[in-house]
Structure 1
Amino acid sequence: MLSPADFVADLFNPALAFLPKALFVALVSSAVCGVIGCHVVLRGMAFIGDAVSHAVFPGLAVAFVVQGNLVLGGAVAGVLTAVAVAVLSQTRRLKEDSVIGVLFVGAFALGIVIISRAPGYSGSLQAFLFGSITGIPDEDLYVVALSAVALLALAFALHKEFVAVSLDRESARALGLPVFWLDMALCVMVAVAVVISVQTIGNVLVLALLVTPAATARLLTDRLGVMMLLSPLLGGLAALTGIYLSWSLDLPAGGTVVLVATGVFLLVWLAAPRHGLVARLWLRHRGRPVPGGALV
């Protein structure tokens, strides 16, 4: 197995320029998904995150076929799908989850049909679905960095509004907050966060980067601010460790990052000081109340 010192040396090896680029995108994606993912977890939006990750696929496919920018192509597709979900969900005959299910399956199928028309179809589809640390062009680094800064700035600017809607939608609406537009904004932010993560993690696994670190952080703290700090740190740790292991052991980068994040989640689920399984069983054994864990 490659030592950490050798891995650092490879990061500075000019012949392996794709490796630091992949690590950069993975760390930036972890930071963005960690923050946005907190809102996804708190609002029970994991299914919407999964839908968006599939919905961006046709945009990525079109951008690939016309040799355009993948991040911009996926973002356009994700935004259009988010708008379509919000509009079609207004009918009382269908619930939101039904509309999401129809749209994300249709979008994913459209993406497969589009990418099948491109040269090198099999390799392209595998890279889209499962990520590729060798396939990140230099210009995408700038798009990813700028998109990440914009997303984090927007998340900070709308933080109070998002929290109000997450805690009580009806009260937020009574206070005059534009709940529909806040939902729309969050869906769009999820779409962009997914797009900038797809190249290293892959379309199939990107939901894990959005949900798993945030869910892990939720088990460690009852304070929302601390949760939003822990989540990107846990995601970054998973990204760094996963890419190191994948490079050392010749494993798929996206799958390895997700497995590391899942392993950390399971460890915390078992051993978290207040909300872990062991701690809760111990409190029950001692006849003490088990903490509920409401966010403050």
Structure 2
Amino acid sequence: MEWLTAPFEATFVQRALWGGMLVSAICALAGTWVVLRGMAFLGDAMSHGLLPGVALAALCGGNLLVGAVASAAVMTAGVTALGRTPRLSQDTGIGLLFVGMLSLGVIIVSRSQSFAVDLTGFLFGDVLAVRRQDLHLLAAALSAALVVSALGHRAFLALAFDARKARTLGLRPRLAHAVLLGLLGLAIVASFHIVGTLLVLGLLLAPPAAALPWARGVHGVMALAALLGGAATFGGLLLSWHLGTAAGATVSALAVSLFFLSHVASGLRHRRTRPAPVPAVEVD
């Protein structure tokens, strides 16, 4: 028991745990739709697209969160606009925005004297540096994500399975897609300080993907994904404390490990429940 509880006696680890739990819940809400719609590349592009705003805010001595929100807004507007261009595939537009924003961010960061430190913190985060005010912001972000998810659930659901059906139902799929991009941007902005942009996809994709074989319905996937993300946060912080590893990377790696364990267990379950083949009967 001491091995399990000793790390969490430290105040900064307690804040890290609460921060990771809140981020897990936010990522469960957005990540479920990302997994259902196959938007992993878009999530990766948006997470890296935060770099220019964060880098500019750091260079000017401003608030990093404000810079991240500005970059997320630019990425959301850019993806929405390019998605309406008939001669350009969505993947191409996302890829161009991805490379352009990342390059611009590296150019801005290169103007700083602490290039390596700034870039490392942005890419990998620092979950152990979560402050009390960060927890308040994460709680507000979770509240906003819950409101958006509740109000947009019907449109998101129709959009995930049949955009044409959503249009015939009068659900305005383009607006729903833009709002969903905003929800994804909110999850990434809330998470990048915890695990960094390189590792945010671990919490955004792995828990919902791990929950899919076991949950019934979208709400079940979201709830189970939040629990799995919270378990990855707790286990990752515990292991990083005892093993001396990077906390954010350990949390993300454990979330991905839970995904593989979930699908292995799901495969074994299907093998056991699969009905035995009926032997052929020979007719004389």
Q: TM-score, normalised by structure 1?
A: 0.88
Distance across 2 between alignment mates of 1:42 and 1:189 = 15
* Kept in 2: contact 1:19–1:134 (CA 8 A): yes
- Equivalent of 1:146, from 140, 151, 155? 140
Distance across 1 between alignment mates of 2:62 and 2:212 = 38
2:104 corresponding residue in structure 1: 110
SS at match of 1:185: helix
SS at match of 2:197: coil
Residues 141-183 of structure 1, C-alpha deviation per residue, up to 9 Å, x if partnerless? 3322212211121111211221121121111101111111110
- Equivalent of 1:24, from 5, 18, 26? 18
- 2:175 is the counterpart of 1:181: yes
SS at match of 2:198: coil
Distance across 2 between alignment mates of 1:169 and 1:202 = 32
2:41 corresponding residue in structure 1: 47
1:9 corresponding residue in structure 2: 9
Distance across 2 between alignment mates of 1:116 and 1:185 = 33
1:286 corresponding residue in structure 2: 276
- Equivalent of 1:76, from 43, 55, 70? 70
SS at match of 1:228: helix
Which 10-residue stretch deviates more, 2-11 or 195-204? 2-11
* Kept in 2: contact 1:131–1:253 (CA 8 A): no
* Kept in 2: contact 1:71–1:143 (CA 8 A): no
1:53 Cα deviation after fit: 0.6
Distance across 1 between alignment mates of 2:77 and 2:178 = 7
2:31 corresponding residue in structure 1: 37
- 2:122 is the counterpart of 1:132: no
* Kept in 2: contact 1:69–1:140 (CA 8 A): no
Distance across 1 between alignment mates of 2:174 and 2:113 = 41
1:118 Cα deviation after fit: 2.1
Distance across 2 between alignment mates of 1:142 and 1:62 = 24
1:223 Cα deviation after fit: 2.1
Output the aligned Cα RMSD: 1.9
* Kept in 2: contact 1:58–1:114 (CA 8 A): yes
- Equivalent of 2:91, from 67, 90, 97? 97
- CA distance 1:59–1:138, shift in 2 (3 Å): farther
Which 10-residue stretch deviates more, 112-121 or 44-53? 112-121
SS at match of 1:114: helix
Distance across 1 between alignment mates of 2:51 and 2:152 = 27
1:131 Cα deviation after fit: 1.3
In the comparison of the two structures, how many residue pairs are matched? Answer: 278
Distance across 2 between alignment mates of 1:43 and 1:89 = 15
Q: TM-score, normalised by structure 2?
A: 0.92
- 2:158 is the counterpart of 1:164: yes
1:94 Cα deviation after fit: 0.9
Unaligned runs of 5+ in 2: 279-284
- CA distance 1:68–1:144, shift in 2 (3 Å): farther
1:206 corresponding residue in structure 2: 200
Distance across 1 between alignment mates of 2:241 and 2:101 = 33
Distance across 2 between alignment mates of 1:152 and 1:285 = 41
1:259 corresponding residue in structure 2: 253
1:284 Cα deviation after fit: 5.0
Paired residue type of 2:276: R
Distance across 1 between alignment mates of 2:128 and 2:106 = 22
Residues 114-148 of structure 1, C-alpha deviation per residue, up to 9 Å, x if partnerless? 12222322111111111113444544333222122
Distance across 2 between alignment mates of 1:120 and 1:152 = 37
Paired residue type of 1:102: L
Distance across 2 between alignment mates of 1:218 and 1:69 = 37
* Kept in 2: contact 1:71–1:140 (CA 8 A): no
* Kept in 1: contact 2:188–2:200 (CA 8 A): yes
Distance across 2 between alignment mates of 1:63 and 1:141 = 21
SS at match of 2:74: helix
2:222 corresponding residue in structure 1: 228
Structure of greater Rg: 2
